[in-house]
């Protein structure tokens, strides 16, 4: 008779440790960027500035409006609102009042490919900001009564945006080039889709997208990296947010978005004092190394008072008060646009001037002087735009989420400074040489509307 098997002692897995490394060394501890990846996949990046007395703490979620199905359009933004309505241990007032009491500020924003929640406080109040923002992200209650109450707020925000044609025209331009696709739909959703969102659908969306593998924590200011990691880990562990077994890594976005052919015109009739126009074409994605040259090109074309568009349209002819160019880079595509707001009777003249400038630069590029001036302008604005902890938090958080790497300010200035007139000519030929499309909002009559096709022919 065989003896009864004696069960072996169960082997316990050693506790997994967080992996920490210095990404950018800084100078004498100033500007040092460190990154820790916790066992559950949560990434924490910080930038230390001992000379300031403030700190900004944020959490970036790898989810935006392009992750929505047609019937879920607006869910990401709706959810952003709901995370401020309360958690399992805090009411909405318990979230906002403590931050107000220390003179801090707290907010959030939703974009097409990510969402960010942040708080800016005195350095001594950073533990408070960490506790509240982490609790919001990990413990949102999403109560049915809050969903219904906040629905009206979101609808009011949609109405407010629609009352601003200078803002709304950019959504119309995206729709013109991208069509009825996740990137082409508005971030806020529509009245119909928002009214169709239920508490259960939003809660499922929250559970799917707000797990550690899809989040990046970022903090900048007079902070200690190890302390931030300990505090974040404590809140996430208490919420059970680091041990989820059903967490799904964020899928790569590349290769999914197609851009429609040029020559399209979308007109939205509105009884406004001005006509708001965007003339543009496909750009480049955010990973394309030509983005530095395209930024220099956009700066020279419509990035300031000395730019070609400003000089030709506003200074010389007085046809518009606001005129500028811009680029939007996504994971797998991009947009390039020229915006102008003018009186309806001057739309044709403004569009003709814009088209002429685009064609001239596509054919001949910029002069050496224009490139040098644009490089200097872009370099200066880059540095000046990083003079507060909020901007620094935004830079390191978005860089980790979107690129998975960090560039120092010197690295960015070197990339901008290395752009040559030949680089600009090449990207201008590739981007501006395409047939444009047009989006217009304003009080245009049938005759004038019929002539808009001339601008893209």
Please identify which of the residues 2, 13, 47, 80 carries the catalytic annotation: 80
The secondary structure of the chain, three-state, reads: CCCCCCCCCCCCCCCCCCEEEEEECCECCECEEEEEECCCCCEEEEEECCCCCEEEEEEEECCCHHHCCHHHCCHHHHHHHHCCCEECCCEHHHHHHHHHHCCCEEEEEECCCCEEEEEEEEHHHHHHHHHHHHHHHHHECCCHHHHHHHHHHHHHHHHHHHCCHHHHHHHHHHHHHHCCCCCCCCCCCCHHHHHCCCHHHHHHHHHHHCCHHHEEEEEEECCCHHHHHHHHHHHHHHCCCCCCCCCCCCCCCCCCCCCCCCCCEEEEECCCCCEEEEEEEECCCCCCCCHHHHHHHHHHHHCCCCCHHHHHHHHCCCCCCEEEEEEEECCCCEEEEEEEEECHHHHHHHHHHHHHHHHHHHHHCCCHHHHHHHHHHHHHHHHHCCCCHHHHHHHHHHHHHHCCCCCCHHHHHHHHHCCCHHHHHHHHHHHCCCCCEEEEEECCCHHHHHHHHHHHC
Whether 80 sits among the annotated catalytic residues: the reply is yes
Q: Any idea which residues carry the catalytic annotation?
A: 80
């Amino acid at each position: 008779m065989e003896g009864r098997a004696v069960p072996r002692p169960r082997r316990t897995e050693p506790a997994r440790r967080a992996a920490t490394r210095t990404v950018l060394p800084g100078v004498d501890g100033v500007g040092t960027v460190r990154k820790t990846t916790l066992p559950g996949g949560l990434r924490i990046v910080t930038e230390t500035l001992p000379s300031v007395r403030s700190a900004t703490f944020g959490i970036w979620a790898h989810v935006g409006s392009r992750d929505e199905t047609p019937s879920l359009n607006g869910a990401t933004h709706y959810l952003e609102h709901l995370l401020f309505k309360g958690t399992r241990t805090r009411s909405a007032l318990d979230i906002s009042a403590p931050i107000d009491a220390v003179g801090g500020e707290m907010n959030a924003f939703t974009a097409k490919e990510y969402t960010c929640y942040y708080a800016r406080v005195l350095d001594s109040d950073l533990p408070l900001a960490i506790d509240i923002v982490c609790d919001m992200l990990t413990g949102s209650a999403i109560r049915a009564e809050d969903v219904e109450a906040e629905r009206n707020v979101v609808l009011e925000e949609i109405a407010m945006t629609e009352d601003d044609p200078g803002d709304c025209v950019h959504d119309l331009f995206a729709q013109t080039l991208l069509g009825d696709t996740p990137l082409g739909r508005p971030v806020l959703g529509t009245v119909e889709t928002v009214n169709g969102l239920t508490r259960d659908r939003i809660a499922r969306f929250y559970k799917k997208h707000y797990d550690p593998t899809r989040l990046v924590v970022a903090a900048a200011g007079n902070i200690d990296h190890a302390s931030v990691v300990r505090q974040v880990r404590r809140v996430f562990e208490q919420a059970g947010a680091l041990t989820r077994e059903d967490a799904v890594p964020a899928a790569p976005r590349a290769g999914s978005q197609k851009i429609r052919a040029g020559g399209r015109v979308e007109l939205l009739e509105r009884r406004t004092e001005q006509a708001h126009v965007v003339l543009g074409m496909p750009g480049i994605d955010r990973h394309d190394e030509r983005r530095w040259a395209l930024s220099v090109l956009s700066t020279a074309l419509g990035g300031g008072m000395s730019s070609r568009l400003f000089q030709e349209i506003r200074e010389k002819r007085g046809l518009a008060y606001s005129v500028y160019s811009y680029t939007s880079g996504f994971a797998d595509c991009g947009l390039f646009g020229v915006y102008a707001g003018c009186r309806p009777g001057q739309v044709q003249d403004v569009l003709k001037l814009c088209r002429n400038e685009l064609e001239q630069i596509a054919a001949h590029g910029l002069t050496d002087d224009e490139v040098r001036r644009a490089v200097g302008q872009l370099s200066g604005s880059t540095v000046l735009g990083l003079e507060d902890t909020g901007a620094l938090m935004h830079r390191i958080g978005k860089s980790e989420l979107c690129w998975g790497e960090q560039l120092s300010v010197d690295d960015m200035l070197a990339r901008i400074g290395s752009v040559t007139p030949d680089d600009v000519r090449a990207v201008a030929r590739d981007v501006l040489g395409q047939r444009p499309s047009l989006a217009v909002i304003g009080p245009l009559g049938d005759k004038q509307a019929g002539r808009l096709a001339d601008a893209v022919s």
